Structure 1
Amino acid sequence: MSIDDITTDTAVKAKHRALWASGDYPAVADVIAALGPRLVEATGIDRGDRVVDIAAGAGNVAIPAARAGAHVVATDLTPELLEIGEQRAGDLGIVWRTADAEDLPFDTGTFDVAVSCVGVMFAPHHQSCADELVRVCRPGGRIGLINWTPTGFIGELFAAMKPYAPPPPPREVGPLATLPAPGTQPGVRWGDADHVRALLGDRVRDLTATTDSVPITRFADGAAFRDFFKASYGPTIATFRAIADEPDKVAALDGAMAALADRHLDAGRMSWEYLLVTATVAD
């Protein structure tokens, strides 16, 4: 990696930390709290397992894993989220550690289980994250992932926001200053089973990929969903901030988000589709 690339990557990570620290992501995570126990169950986390929750946020997986008796390390790039998770966890004994999902500070084979719930999918370099998932998990250990699909509600939400979103951070120096950060990929690609299989490759066996959905009953109508995400969800906050001086665009995105949610709502209930992946690290 060149000096230009390192400089750009540092800027990308700083923007990611600020993005997820904005708003109130733990409130959003509470809406999808059922995904944490779902991933714990799917990966068979049990008493005595050494578990790392990568891009853990405020602990949607880490906390139920610890309640199951596992020894849990929860990592995230955003320390503000870990602080909230630690407060919520009380005396469960979880270790909360600021760390980059693309460069984890653990020895090879440290853990029995490596998990991430709508977490690593938002790191910019997919292959680096996949490499770390495999590396820190012992041979015969388990990997478990929940990621939003491109075709589900959250995938559609990102598609609706994309025309209004700020561009990826550019290279800040050198002759390629107009190019986006090198090697970055859209997060919802992690919701494509073929993409995940390609990332993990032959380093895992017994990979299963299942599409399911989490029921959401938090929102009475599309406007309520839009207003909650505008106030709480980092990517939505950043998108509206980027067009704050363009009222026509703000109005258009307001309408698009509310209309999207209304299309998915049925008697106050929505279903947000996700991909559940489990795999065993090859010997």
Structure 2
Amino acid sequence: MSPDLDPRVHARDDATRTAEATLRQHLEGDGWTFVTPTPALAGNARVSLRAAPSGTSAQVSEALPGEALEVLWDGPDGWQRARTLHDGYLGWVRRDALTVGTSGELTVTALRAHAYAGPKVSQPVVAELCLGSRVTRADGDVIEEQRRRWVPVRLPDGTGAWVQEVVLAPLGSVDAAALALRFLDTPYVWGGRSAWGLDCSGLTQVVFARCGHVLPRDADQQQAALQAIESPRRGDLAFFPGHVGLMLDASRMVHANATHMRVTVETLGEGDYGRRLAASLEGYGRWTS
């Protein structure tokens, strides 16, 4: 295999001799079956991408409701090999967690939000949404109820629902550091990408996405994608072995971490954890495009 074929983003299975069609020129030997992916969407809930086709395997990433994926091949017991399109990241997903269609034109801008069966907060919750989820505007007028404005939408699987207009309000000009700080105390979840739970690179990826910057999924990939710099400023990323944080200034950093099991702010070089972080610092990166 070519050394450039990262198994996180290049799909191949040596056991079944199956690979994506784009790898045809990179794989040696006979007997390979090359597949062309088919489009899919994450359904009404966050979709867990796992390291292996098993519910007990590690979660490697998440697809948010309405995000686009592509399915490569079927695995055992209702599992499918799939890729999230925004970052090209691979994982195993449950077939029944996906749907078909086109990503909705409305993007949820609230960190966490609920979709309801009707235009009233006492109605049943039919879906959990989050920053970056995609829904479609449904037919019908906005309904005002006790000075709340309810928007009719269709969830990714086509189900009708209602959300308050405020959860779709444009973010306007976004400061990455300020947005990251809104995630303070969000629980740490390995592979997570939402305010319901996320990991270090999930936080930086989601925040940068809302600033219009597409980052890869993992910390080492993000480090390779950014320009290395010596002196950080607000909005730059700090990199450590298997870890990343977002700088608030030249020394303070916000990050999702398994030490506190939540999103916290640390000052590099201060306190026991801050000193350990400073000692393992690999460098800083800045978005320059």
TM-score category of the 2 structures, normalised to the smaller one: under 0.3
**Greater relative contact order: 1 or 2 (C-alpha under 8 angstroms, separation 6 or more)?**
1
If you compute each CA radius of gyration, which structure gives the higher value, 1 or 2? 2
TM-score for both structures, normalised by structure 2: 0.27
Q: Which has the higher helix share?
A: 1
TM-score for both structures, normalised by structure 1: 0.27
Q: Which has the higher strand share?
A: 2
